[in-house]
Amino acid sequence: LVTAPFAVSAANGTFKDVCSTKAAKTTKKSELLATAKIKEAEAKKIAQDAAGGGAIVKGGIETEDGCLLYSYHVKDSKGQTEVFVDAGTGKVLGTEKEGKFRAALEKPVDKVKEVGGKTKEAVTGKPSTNQAVTK
């Protein structure tokens, strides 16, 4: 019950009232990572702990509603939990449970994003900032 209000906040994009660090949507990923006080490895651990364990299947640093945060999808046997971690403090800003059905619906969208990111890398010769691009 404690996370229920946060899930609603996350879904409605109201992180601006609870985050510690602001960022613009157009900021490059490298700049977002340089600004974050919490590093990726620590944010991943926080997300896994908040979700009760499991494997991270996607995610990374992003700007949501003007806030700098990490968003990770942590998968377990029941589906996925998306965890939002403040990039400035490491505080969990919210979680959203995603059942197997919703996770399956997101797969085609993720694939399109991955192909787009890889195409951009091939054209520009620069690493993509797209979270969906797998290395």
Q: Is the pLDDT of residue 28 over 50?
A: yes
- Please tell me the predicted confidence (pLDDT) of residue 116: 74
Q: How many CB atoms lie within 10 A of CB 22?
A: 13
DSSP state of 8: H
117 vs 13, which has greater pLDDT?
117
pTM (two decimals): 0.69
Amino acid at 71: S
Cβ(98)–Cβ(51) below 8 Å: no
Question: In angstroms, rounded to a whole number, what is the distance separating the alpha carbons of residues 27 and 43?
Answer: 19
pLDDT value at 72 more than 80: yes
pLDDT digits (tens, 9 = 90+) for 38-50: 999 999 999 999 9
